[in-house]
Amino acid sequence: MRKFTSMLIVTMVAMIALVACSSDKGESGSTTGTDNVNFKVGMMIDSGTIDDKSFNQGTWEGILAYTDDHKGVKGQHVQPNGETTADYLSAADNLMMAGNNVIIAPGFKFEEAITELQTANPEVSFVILDGEPATMAENTTAIYFAEHEAGFLAGVAAALQSQTGKVGFIGGMKIPAVERFGWGYLAGVAYANKNYATNVEVVDYQYQGTFNDVQGGQMMAGGMYDKGIDIIFSAAAAVGNGVINEAKARTEAGEKVYVIGVDVDQYDEGLMNDGSSVVLTSAIKRIDVAVYDALKAYGEGNFPGGQIITMDAKTNGVGLPETNPNLTTDTQAKVDDTLAQIQSGALVVPVTGEELDTFLAEVGYQANTINYK
């Protein structure tokens, strides 16, 4: 796979309102749109479910938002029977047989399938998120996100909010996107120690190995909280739901622990009976915006085929939610200042393990007790 730093960066500026996702509807269409765009868009669901409160849901919400704005466009999603290339090819065939003109694949697991599909079906346009085919065809666009920048902001927030001085990281599978989240998080904690006078350590840093094991995520989180960690950044899809469950259970028992969500704003997922939430903030990727913009370009006849697009902080493609009820005013101000520095180019967030090594050395942070690479 090409290095992240060599990707083509394309500005994507369409900002939209999120539309609530209905998990029991496999098709969407609206009668409130204002133009005459007519086409069908199909989505293949990645590991998990359409209402995973994470990557799948963010993708579907982008489709829903576009179909809501364009009455002639209909969307549907399918759940592949398994997680092999053959399963993905079969799911895509079903979508194409249903007349879908655009197929969206949210995740690196679809890379091999898209490599085959784009060549065999030149009349169909493909959008793959967090991955790219072996060769880019003119009917395919690949969209990446600068996860390291979102993770960095999450790390700054964690360092500023931690009461124990101990924070942790749980990743799902050890893939580039998740690694970038974790590296950015570690760098953000180190940056806060240097620039905002915090004294916080990332004392545990683990990968669960899957994105689906909710119980495994809860057990892993329990082990971290037992070490005195009070904030865990979970970049692990459904595994993160287990982390949230553990944080809720401990909070109900009188502890004060938090989770940092991922991909979408997961504040509501952490809500307790008293109206408070165990989700401190979330490292978000504007997945819905990326999908909406790709569909908008297709509808206008400007589909960015053959291009690799990166959504970053400068394009408002990644970051933290605009509203973070659990962050203090001072923390929010410092996070906003950090974001402004990233957007201006004054602060460059490390994107590889080697760059992280250099960054940590420059700010004087020792990470000898964890294996982050």
pLDDT tens readout for residues 291-308: 999 999 999 999 999 999
Taking the C-alpha atoms of residue 93 and residue 283, their distance in angstroms, rounded to an integer, is: 34
Amino acid 34: pLDDT: 47
pLDDT-based confidence at 37, cuts 50/70/90? confident
- Phi/psi at 262 (nearest 5 deg)? -145, 155
* 290 backbone dihedrals φ, ψ, rounded to 5°: -60, -45
**What value does the mean pLDDT take over residues 226-231?**
99
- 101-138: per-residue pLDDT in tens? 999 999 999 999 999 999 999 999 999 999 999 999 99
Q: How confident is the model at residue 53 (pLDDT cuts 50, 70, 90)?
A: confident
pLDDT of 17 > 60? The answer is no
CATH number listed for the domain at residues 4-145+286-315: 3.40.50.2300
Residue entry with tokens 């929010």: 332
pLDDT band at residue 89 using 50, 70 and 90 as cut-offs: very high
Residue 250: what pLDDT? 99
Residue 80, pLDDT > 80, answer yes
The pLDDT value recorded for residue 232 is 99
Contact call for residues 101 and 125 (beta carbons, < 8 A): yes
Q: CB-based contacts of 256: which residues, under 8 Å, 6+ apart?
A: 163, 230
Say yes or no: do domains 4-145+286-315 and 147-284+328-363 share a fold. yes
Q: What is the mean pLDDT of residues 53-69?
A: 94
Average pLDDT value for the chain: 91
Look at residue 148 and tell me whether its pLDDT is greater than 50: yes
More confident residue, 47 or 313: 313
Q: What is the pLDDT of residue 52?
A: 81
- What's the fold here for domain 147-284+328-363? Rossmann fold (3.40.50)
Q: pLDDT, tens digit, for every residue of 257-267?
A: 999 999 999 99
Whether 15 shows a pLDDT value over 50: the answer reads no
Domains of the chain by residue range: 4-145+286-315, 147-284+328-363
pLDDT of 29 over the 50 cut = no
Distant-in-sequence, close-in-space partners of 109: CB < 8 Å, separation ≥ 6: 46, 47, 83, 88, 131
For residue 54, the model assigns a pLDDT of 83
What Cα–Cα distance (Å) separates residue 344 from each residue in 181, 219, 319, 347?
20, 40, 14, 8
Kindly indicate the confidence band of residue 8, based on its pLDDT and cuts at 50, 70 and 90.
very low
Confidence (pLDDT) at 35 = 62
pTM beyond cutoff 0.75: yes
Contact assessment for residue 278 and residue 67, using Cβ atoms and an 8 Å cutoff: no
User: In the chain, pLDDT over 70 holds for what percent of residues?
Assistant: 90
